[in-house]
Amino acid sequence: MNSEKIIKYGAELYSAFSSQQTVLPLTEREPSITIENAYAIQQEMIRLRLANGERIIGKKIGVTSRAMQDLIKVNQPDFGQLTSAMLMDEGQPVSLSGLIQPKAEAEVAFVLKEDLAGPGITAIDVIRATDYVVPCFEIVDSRIKDWKISIQDTIADNASCGIFVLGKTRAKLTDLDLNLAGMLLERNGKLEQYACGAAVQGGPVNAVVWLANTLGKLGLPFKKGEIILSGSQSSLVPAIPGETLRCTVGGLGSCEIQFED
Amino acid sequence: MMNIETINALTSRVLMAQDSATTITKLTDEFPSMTMADSYDIQDELCRRWVARGDRITGMKAGLTSRAKMLQMGVDEPSFGFLTSAMACPESGKIQIDELVHPRVEAEIGFVLKREIGGDHLSIDDVMAATDFVIPAVEIIDSRYEKFKFDLISVIADNGSSSRYVTGGRPMDPRNLDLCSIGVVIECNGDIEELGASAAVLDHPANSIIMLAAHLHSRGARLPAGQLILTGGITAAVAVQKGDVINARFQNMGSVSFRFV
């Protein structure tokens, strides 16, 4: 795929994001699009967001569960970039009006206290570089019509990033058994989903190792202070105005999100 | 309601299937008007026969207590059954698979009471206050019905598919745990097969005991101190084969492992 097309699709997805109008899957129009092409388009889309005053504050890891990988027929995760405009306050109602077809995922977020420069990163490096973990919700959204995504479509579309909320309780990795920490997702106080940390690549640290090494290969920085959403432990669930979702991670705490129009 | 001769005859049929690891057709196929009370009468007669041949009743189990299990088996309320000394297998031990028909394993939280409780109005606090300790457990369920296909009445007559159980890991004071959010992973030969969190069991495993106590109350019995109560699978059950090594890991409670030979 030549650079004109990369720029064109990056601009198209940015425009879809700004105008909240979906586009057809890129893979329908460019059957030979590669994963590398898709990350290049993502970079272009993000460049346009940064030009509009946003800052990079972290990364998200997607497609981390076996169920999700089977669904879109891949055997590895993907990643997107988190910007300052995506972070919402816990405790404030979250407006869905800026999103097109939002869905929620319960996750654990990592915050780094050191840079991580892959390739060659191992779990020990991630544990050492992690300042703390925090329960969070990611509200994913797709600029692709009806969520009809293949892996290239979602990568180009910034891994279907929408917005996210961090809970207020933090823990060090040495203070909890993250892989076995139970995760409960409640809607309006009623249990809807449950899982545990191992749902993400056998353990969320594994997902962050993958991310550090993948970013390293692509020459992208992974800096101290960045927030990493380590991947959904739940299935995607509907985000509906007027409803409240709460995720609780055993030994860590909760994150609550209340949706409004 | 069945007469005593029929109860005795069906008890013999179920016991023969259990002892010889063979399948029988669903009892309700032959006795469509059979009731749940008839099935529990068969269980009581099973108990009398076990005790008569020298087995000890070591506890009770609640089954079909999670949404995953109810979906898997197509039923919508729990079943209860008895555990005996002949079903207990040691942690890190071997289970003879040819003594079983088509076994499946599920991870559960076991409760041991320090004092007898009963009645149909218990609260979670009542159960917790009467609990001596909780302990990780794996139950090996094995329906004596063909292809694990049954209805609630038939499965109860088969003692809730009980066949073997293994306890292990760390016995713990439940006051030192959040019993809703214990994450659990079942591995078979090192691969994660199923995972979940303990709220999968009726939002809190103690709710199983509340329902079990109410069931016993309706039959004029109470839950004794000192026995093991298995509160029901946290995950869907995993089918196993000869040679499989099972390892169930429980957040903060250790693990239970054993092998099928």
For A164-185, write each residue's pLDDT tens digit: 999 999 999 989 999 999 999 9
Contact B196 A248 (CB under 8 A): no
Q: Is the CB of residue B30 less than 8 Å away from at least one CB of chain A?
A: no
Q: How many other CB atoms sit within 10 Å of the CB of residue A246?
A: 21
Nearest to A4 by CA among A32, A38, A41, A30: A41
Q: From CA B129, how far away is CA B114, in angstroms rounded?
A: 9
- The beta strands (E) that lie in B99-207 are given as 104-113, 131-141, 162-167, 183-188, 191-197
For chain B, the average pLDDT equals 94
The answer to whether A221 touches A115, Cβ cutoff 8 Å, is yes
pLDDT at A164: 97
Q: Is the CB of residue A249 less than 8 Å away from at least one CB of chain B?
A: yes
Q: Average pLDDT in the B157-168 region?
A: 95
Mutate to test the interface with B, among A64, A108, A178, A180 (most CBs of B within 10 A): A180
Where does the pLDDT of residue B176 fall: very low under 50, low under 70, confident under 90, or very high at 90 and above?
confident
Q: Which residues of A43-62 are buried (b: 16+ CB within 10 A; e: fewer)?
A: bbbbebbeeeebebbbbbbb
pLDDT at B74: 80
Element (H, E) at A106: strand A103-112
Element (H, E) at A183: strand A182-187
Q: Average pLDDT in the A191-203 region?
A: 93
Q: From CA A166, how far away is CA A172, in angstroms rounded?
A: 15
Cα angle for residues B196, B201, B205 (degrees, 5° grid): 115
Please state, for a pLDDT cut of 70, what percent of chain B lies above it: 100
pLDDT at B71: 80
The answer to whether B18 touches B155, Cβ cutoff 8 Å, is no
pLDDT for residue B69 is more than 80: no
Element (H, E) at B36: helix B36-52
- The beta strands (E) that lie in B64-127 are given as 79-84, 88-89, 94-95, 104-113
Q: Average pLDDT in the A195-203 region?
A: 93
Q: Which residues of B148-163 are buried (b: 16+ CB within 10 A; e: fewer)?
A: bebbbbbbbbbbbbbb
Q: Average pLDDT in the B44-70 region?
A: 91
Domain spanning B4-260: CATH superfamily = Fumarylacetoacetase-like, C-terminal domain (3.90.850.10)
Contact B197 A179 (CB under 8 A): no
Where does the pLDDT of residue A71 fall: very low under 50, low under 70, confident under 90, or very high at 90 and above?
confident
Give B184's contacts in chain A (Cβ within 8 Å).
Answer: 180, 182, 196
Give A202's contacts in chain B (Cβ within 8 Å).
Answer: 192
Domain spanning A56-260: CATH superfamily = Fumarylacetoacetase-like, C-terminal domain (3.90.850.10)
Contact B199 A191 (CB under 8 A): yes
Q: What are the tokens at B113?
A: 């009471």
The answer to whether A2 touches A44, Cβ cutoff 8 Å, is no
Q: From CA A82, how far away is CA A76, in angstroms rounded?
A: 20
Q: Is B34 helix (H, G, I), strand (E, B) or coil?
A: coil
Where does the pLDDT of residue A69 fall: very low under 50, low under 70, confident under 90, or very high at 90 and above?
confident
Which residue(s) pair with A260 in the sheet?
A95
pTM: 0.86
DSSP letter for A119, please: S
Q: From CA B46, how far away is CA A141, in angstroms rounded?
A: 56
Mutate to test the interface with B, among A179, A194, A246 (most CBs of B within 10 A): A194
Where does the pLDDT of residue A72 fall: very low under 50, low under 70, confident under 90, or very high at 90 and above?
confident
Q: Average pLDDT in the A98-127 region?
A: 93
pLDDT tens column, A119-155 = 889 888 999 999 999 999 999 999 999 999 999 999 9
Q: How many other CB atoms sit within 10 Å of the CB of residue B242?
A: 10
Q: From CA B158, how far away is CA B40, in angstroms rounded?
A: 9
Minimum CA–CA partner of A196 in chain B = B183
Q: How many residue pairs bridge chain A and chain B with CB atoms within 8 Å of each other?
A: 70
Instruction: Supply the Cα-derived Rg of chain B in whole angstroms.
Output: 17
Where does the pLDDT of residue B238 fall: very low under 50, low under 70, confident under 90, or very high at 90 and above?
very high
Contact A182 B185 (CB under 8 A): no
Residues 106..135 of B with a Cβ closer than 8 Å to A: which? Answer: none
pLDDT at B86: 92
Give A180's contacts in chain B (Cβ within 8 Å).
Answer: 183-185, 249-252
| Domains of chain A by residue range | 56-260
Q: From CA B167, how far away is CA B110, in angstroms rounded?
A: 8
pLDDT at A70: 85
DSSP letter for B212, please: H
pLDDT for residue B76 is more than 90: no
Place of tokens 């991870």: B107
Q: What are the tokens at B240?
A: 């196993």
The complex scores an ipTM of 0.77
Q: From CA B85, how far away is CA B51, in angstroms rounded?
A: 10
Q: How many other CB atoms sit within 10 Å of the CB of residue A73?
A: 8
pLDDT tens column, A13-53 = 999 999 999 999 999 999 999 999 999 999 999 999 999 99
pLDDT for residue B148 is more than 90: no
Contact A195 B195 (CB under 8 A): yes
Residue A164: is it exposed, middle or buried by C-beta count within 10 angstroms (0-12/13-18/19+)? buried
pLDDT at B67: 72
The answer to whether A237 touches A169, Cβ cutoff 8 Å, is no
Nearest to A250 by CA among A86, A75, A130, A108: A108
Contact A198 B195 (CB under 8 A): yes
Give B185's contacts in chain A (Cβ within 8 Å).
Answer: 179-180, 196, 198
Q: Average pLDDT in the A194-216 region?
A: 94
pLDDT at B70: 78
| Domains of chain B by residue range | 4-260
CB-CB: which of A180, A183, A248 is closest to B185?
A180
Nearest Cα of chain A lies from the Cα of B16 at a distance, in angstroms, of: 39
Which residue(s) pair with A255 in the sheet?
A247
The answer to whether A206 touches A200, Cβ cutoff 8 Å, is yes
Q: Is the CB of residue A195 less than 8 Å away from at least one CB of chain B?
A: yes
Where does the pLDDT of residue B72 fall: very low under 50, low under 70, confident under 90, or very high at 90 and above?
confident
Give A197's contacts in chain B (Cβ within 8 Å).
Answer: 183
pLDDT for residue B140 is more than 80: yes
Contact A195 B197 (CB under 8 A): yes
pLDDT at A221: 86
The answer to whether A142 touches A228, Cβ cutoff 8 Å, is no
**CA distances from residue B81 to A217, B7, B32 in whole angstroms, order as listed:** 56, 16, 21
Where does the pLDDT of residue B232 fall: very low under 50, low under 70, confident under 90, or very high at 90 and above?
very high
Place of tokens 């009806």: A146
Nearest Cα of chain B lies from the Cα of A167 at a distance, in angstroms, of: 17
Q: Is the CB of residue A248 less than 8 Å away from at least one CB of chain B?
A: yes
Q: Average pLDDT in the B234-241 region?
A: 94
More reliable by pLDDT, A91 or A40: A40
Q: From CA B83, how far away is CA A210, in angstroms rounded?
A: 45
Q: Determine phi and psi for B161, rounding to 5 degrees.
A: 65, 20
Place of tokens 């207590």: B65
pLDDT tens column, B99-109 = 999 999 999 99
Contact A198 B199 (CB under 8 A): no
